[in-house]
Amino acid sequence: MSSESSKKIFNSLQTRQRANEFLRFHGLIMTLSHRVGDINLEKLIRDVFKNGDPTWLGVVKEDLPDLFSGDIKKSDIDVLDTVKSMIENSDQVKVEISFEPSDQFITDFINILEINLDNSLNKGFVVEFDVIEDMDMGARFYMNGKFLDLTIRSQVENYLISNDVVNRYI
Amino acid sequence: MNLILPIFNSGVFVLDVETFIALTCFFIAAVLLCYLLVTYSSDSDVGDVFPNSLSLKDKIEIKKAKKQGIEIKETIEKEAYETALSILDKARSDSLRILGQAQVKAQGLISNTYVISKESRAMLERSVNEIYEKQGRVLGNISDEILESYRLAVEEGKKDNIRTLYEVTEAMRQEAIQGVNELKDVVKKETIGAQDALEEKITTEYAKIDSEVKEYKSKKVEGLNKKIFELLSNVYMELMGEDLDQIKHEKLILTLLEREIKKSGLNF
């Protein structure tokens, strides 16, 4: 059960930004575990995430309901530690795009990676989206020192080169 | 006529038969006359019959008278005759000896004389002709020798000329070959120099043309890029058909991602 919870929470993170938020949350919980007396976790979370609750926090509340009631159990902490460890051991992916990606896009993006890339160790992916507004349409993909140019310009140029358009038509 | 005999005949005088006989008779008569004079002189001295003061004519008269008178005295005459014969024989032998000496002297005299008789002139002409003939033969021989020598000299000269000509020809040939070689070297150097200059010029021209080509290529590529950008715009328009919204954009990225991962065989 805890493993599934950890997996579920990890899968809800998906991006580097959310993973960092989770690590801050994990740190907060670790400090609270030694605290004595009543704990208003909701208030503490709002203090940490002033821009609103992260999307992944709903999954945590769903799988670890006791944690938000002020009763920090060892099993819950283990789940959070596992998630932290999964984040640290995950494959880090960086993507440059010209827009803020939608959640669906992020999910589909990771699904494509999980389906098409060898991930036998089931380490999971954490994607860092770097938004560059004046960038050409498409994306640039970096992972473990490897690079894929997914911009439309590059695709068209490759198409022109592969079809020898310059020599054939110019 | 004064004739100067050739030097090689100065010591030899050739006597013909007629001259010899004439000279002999002359000397014999002279000898006999001398003998008679000597003989009669001695008889008169003995008998004192004919004193020395008598002339020769008187003596002859006396002798004739005595001869007529003495005919009787045959013995005396016979003895006298025999004596005369012996004397004649002696005189003949003496005359021959004297003639020989006289001949030698005559030859000497004749050799020195400048007046030549008609016969002598003919003889001299004959001698001269003989001399001429001899000289002609000698000259002929000499001419032959000279001709032979000349021929040999000509042959030698010819050989020398041929050798000289060969040497000159060889020298000219060597000189010509040397000249040709020098000319060849000069032409070769000039050719190599020209070739180097040509290569340098070609290299320079090639670099210049290459620079122009690169410049042209750069301009062409620049124009090409413009055309590519125009083409890209056209491709955008044709591919998208309309402006790309985020949903389509995301879908396009996902499609490209999946295609590129599969195509490149990436294994992260």
Phi and psi at residue B116, in whole multiples of 5°?
Answer: -115, 130
CA distances from A12 to A9, A22, B14, B232 (A): 5, 10, 177, 38
Residue A18 pLDDT: 92
Burial label for A31, CB within 10 Å (0-12, 13-18, 19+), is exposed
pLDDT at A19 exceeding the cut of 90: yes
Choose between A25 and B77: higher pLDDT. Answer: A25
Across the interface, whether the CB atoms of A137 and B244 are under 8 A apart is answered yes
Across the interface, whether the CB atoms of B260 and A138 are under 8 A apart is answered no
Average pLDDT, chain A: 85
Q: State both tokens at B222.
A: 């620049």
Interface of A with B in 49-108 (CB under 8 A): 91, 97, 99, 101-102, 104-105, 108
Distance from CA of B253 to the nearest CA of A (A): 6
Distance from CA of B247 to the nearest CA of A (A): 8
Across the interface, whether the CB atoms of B256 and A139 are under 8 A apart is answered yes
pLDDT for A115-126, tens place per residue?
A: 888 766 678 899
Q: Rounded mean pLDDT of A2-14?
A: 88
Distance from CA of A156 to the nearest CA of B (A): 7
**Which of A112, A152, A159 shows the shortest C-beta gap to B257?**
A112
Beta bridge partners of A15: A127
Across the interface, whether the CB atoms of B267 and A118 are under 8 A apart is answered yes
pLDDT for B231-268, tens place per residue?
A: 766 666 566 645 678 888 899 899 989 988 888 776 65
Residue A102 pLDDT: 92
pLDDT for B184-238, tens place per residue?
A: 888 888 888 888 888 888 888 888 888 888 888 888 877 877 777 667 666 665 6
Residue A97 pLDDT: 93
Tell me, what's the ipTM?
0.86
Residue A21 pLDDT: 92
pLDDT for A124-152, tens place per residue?
A: 899 999 999 888 888 999 988 888 888 88
